[in-house]
Amino acid sequence: MATLPDILSRTAANIGMDAGALRPYVEALIAIVAEAHTRNEAVELMTFGTLEAPGTSPPFRAHATLLPSGDGEES
């Protein structure tokens, strides 16, 4: 499993930025998620999906656009 520094480095490289420049944004995101979890709230991760409240199963619900379409259904 990738660690936070791995993800940060890869993301920075993909968008042409220095990983150090992205660190404040990552730290802010982590703080937002932590605060939401202390309030037992879900966190929407833009087009990726929703990180559900702690103790919820499943803990992550993928955005519909990431799911395979059903038989003959259009998305």
Predicted pLDDT of residue 72: 47
How many residues are given for the chain?
75
Q: How far is CA 44 from CA 7, 37, 50, 60, in A?
A: 19, 12, 4, 10
Predicted pLDDT of residue 41: 92
For residues 32 and 64, what is the distance between their CA atoms, to the nearest angstrom? 23
Q: How does residue 38 score in pLDDT terms, banded at 50, 70 and 90? A: very high
Q: How does residue 47 score in pLDDT terms, banded at 50, 70 and 90? A: low
With a pLDDT cut of 70, the percent of the chain lying above it is: 88
pLDDT exceeds 70 at position 74: no
- pTM for this prediction: 0.55
Between 31 and 66, residue with greater pLDDT: 31
Between 45 and 57, residue with greater pLDDT: 57
Query: Who contacts 50 (Cβ-Cβ below 8 Å, separation ≥6)?
Result: 42, 43, 44, 60, 61, 63
